[in-house]
Amino acid sequence: MKPQEKPIHIECEKEDIAPVVIMPGDPLRAKYIAENFLDNARLVTSVRNMLGFTGTYKGQKLTIMGSGMGMPSVSIYAWELFHFYNVEKIIRIGTAGVVSPNVLVPEVVLADNIYSESNFAFQYNGYGGNTVKPSENLNKKILEVAKNKNMKIHVGTIMTCDVFGPYININAVLGRIPNGIEPLAEEMEAFGLVHVANSFHKEATCMVTAVDSKFSEVVLSIEQRQTALNDMITLALDSLIV
């Protein structure tokens, strides 16, 4: 196969993308972050309405780029960012369903391990494992910033599913997980992002805000999901600046 010569899903100049990226799933959440947290933010790419913005945060250049839903989508944008735009670090921020009674809605979970029963990694480059490890350096920085902010954050395994958790028998999925793996939350993108980052020898990790739980009747509305993410957004931004 001929090597890809230019990006297909991101359309801007190389200098329009910062070396560090915050990646929410929803492109409108990327717009929200850019408008409310960045200075001099400008739209740099909008192919297929997947919005990307670049501006400054506390004086440092930073990009906010939507990823879409699911591993196939996030892998497209991660691959192009790493390959064509020399991005070095990506922090995914998203929402998740809680699968542990130890995490309450709307607490934050930081992944130090990501599990998936998907064939994504095997198809991507023949990797046969079911777990991938996020960047230890990024996680260390996030935990340092969280401590300074007196912000509670859970650290543990996140499970990445191919199907939206509330629409499937999540207990059956949890029942297939090997012994010794105890996920705190489930979502749909982290495994794909981190596996692509690891294949490029770049840094990536994932933080999610719990928006529903199999152990609670509390469910955040769409509007509440948007505003409840502000603490996590600020934590991610502060963790990417020098």
Report the alpha-carbon distance of residue 99 to residue 170 in Å, rounded.
9
Catalytic-residue membership of 212:
yes
Cα distance between residue 50 and residue 175, in whole Å: 35
Are β-strands 60-65 and 20-24 bridged in parallel, bridged antiparallel, or unpaired?
Answer: parallel
Which DSSP helix (H) or strand (E) runs through 171?
helix 170-175
Distance linking the first and last C-alpha atoms of the chain? 39
Of the candidates 26, 112, 212, 231, the residue annotated as catalytic is: 212
CA distance 51 to 150: 32
Helix axes 230-240, 136-148, angle to 10 degrees: 120
Residue with tokens 């010569």: 5
Q: How far apart are CA 149 and CA 168, in angstroms?
A: 37
Asked if 33 and 22 touch (Cβ cutoff 8 Å), the reply is: yes
Residue 67's contacts (CB-CB under 8 Å, 6 or more residues apart) are: 23, 24, 25, 50, 73, 74, 77, 78, 92, 189, 193
Residues marked as catalytic = 212
